[in-house]
Structure 1
């Protein structure tokens, strides 16, 4: 008789998420209750969703709320009615609400234009309580999808993805997750491959059929003629590290129409926002 698959080790009891800014929790709570009162659909993501799914707590510099792009003006008006300032910081993916130095991110896509918030986010959201307020959380599938493309020099969300897979493997809708990544299935394969490296005794948590499907796609692709000649998709992973490919090597930017969802103006604005820092070489 074959040995049973080992069960994952229990997740530690949830730790708390603490805002870094003094008084920010009150502001966050006000925004959550205000949007509930106005009946504006929103989902809580970021550190609070990660805490719910994995039990991992961390200090957070903001509150991430996911909304539909069409609802941004309603959100801004509701906030203004309570004396809070809101701005459409980057028209292709993000607005912000402020109370002094504390802020809330109002997210309707992703910085690379890929992970647009649509009805599916809300159809599969789950109920939770955040800051003593009933809310809905971003689904784990969309949380993985949106985090999977964050591979900057100063930030990489792969560990969050590995922790969510380990904690939620039995509830993840793997087929829906795969649909979210198409046509960027190689990004999903990279994270699932790393999961098996990080947790070698728990590789079975990722369905075998999914790995076989992705590996077969890879096999077919490596034997097929190259496609999308002259396109660099690295810009979908980092807004900074592949700019030389675009500006100096002559590659087309995969974020920008017709290859992606962003306009040239969106890409330029997002590039200008790269923080200035001393380059370590």
Structure 2
């Protein structure tokens, strides 16, 4: 559900981006409504776009009189008018799930407030949400609603490709899905579940690396492992690709809404 005043701002934003030919995808609560039919009150609009298009998007909205800011250089920018704002997301906060051409190749079309737009694919939505496990926010329910609604029709090979070496995160969510919807376990193909379980059994031995991958799931809850217990941060080189200076900005903002 979008309130009337916010709706006008979102509509103006979408029309401006379309008119100025900035490529983008709609995600978040509106995409969840599109795929799973679940409506909820939303205070912002999530726009996904490639990193190379972010500055252009901010420029055209600034031309329209909106305030804009690149809040966290490695993943998030914003545009707002009064209390209403749009999030421009071009990667996950952990440095994974960067928006690339594949997101656009597999996007779905729809119309929002009379504006023809592209919606982020369900596979990409699931992949980007799977790593959100903060104390104050867990996107599991969104993931399981998407699996319940779209599971049989998902491109599972494409979904798996988004996880790479972090496939265990997807497996964990699939196990939780089978608990949440026991009568809908068929929504996850048996061969996918079996392949992941067999891989988990085959790779059961500990890895010879002192890294904490919990930071890929929560920016705050595993800081003790980095600061006091000697673990390396999976978000920075050689394990990840977030620049230390960007990570410092992101960590300093703990406690404030992004």
Shorter-chain TM range is: over 0.9
Partner of 2:12: 30
Whether 1:255 and 2:235 are equivalent positions in the alignment is yes
RMSD of aligned Cα (Å): 1.3
2:163 alignment partner, one of 178, 181, 185: 181
1:237 alignment partner, one of 217, 221, 234: 217
TM-score if structure 2 supplies the norm length?
Answer: 0.97
CA distance in 1: counterparts of 2:138 and 2:232, whole angstroms? 24
Q: How far does the alpha carbon of each residue in 1:88-142 deviate from its partner, in whole angstroms, 9 at most, with x for none?
A: 1100000000111111001100111101000000000000112321110000000
CA distance in 2: counterparts of 1:250 and 1:130, whole angstroms? 49
CA distance in 1: counterparts of 2:178 and 2:241, whole angstroms? 32
**Residues 1-281 of structure 1 aligned to structure 2 (within 5 Å):** 17-19=1-3, 23-222=5-204, 224=205, 226-227=206-207, 229-275=209-255
How far off its partner does 1:61 sit? 1.3
Of Structure 1 and Structure 2, the greater helix share is in 2
CA change 1:221–1:253 in 2 (3 A) is same
- In 1, are the aligned partners of 2:152 and 2:189 still within 8 Å (CA)? no
Partner of 1:10: none
CA change 1:227–1:48 in 2 (3 A) is same
Q: How far does the alpha carbon of each residue in 1:43-87 deviate from its partner, in whole angstroms, 9 at most, with x for none?
A: 000000001111111111100000111111111111111111211
CA change 1:34–1:210 in 2 (3 A) is same
CA distance in 1: counterparts of 2:137 and 2:122, whole angstroms? 20
- In 1, are the aligned partners of 2:31 and 2:120 still within 8 Å (CA)? yes
Superposition misfits of 4+ residues, deviation over 6 angstroms: none
CA distance in 2: counterparts of 1:249 and 1:266, whole angstroms? 23
CA change 1:93–1:18 in 2 (3 A) is same
SS in structure 2 at match of 1:258: coil
Q: Which runs of 5+ in 1 are unaligned?
A: 1-16
CA change 1:141–1:96 in 2 (3 A) is same
- In 1, are the aligned partners of 2:80 and 2:86 still within 8 Å (CA)? yes
Number of residue pairs the alignment of both structures matches? 257
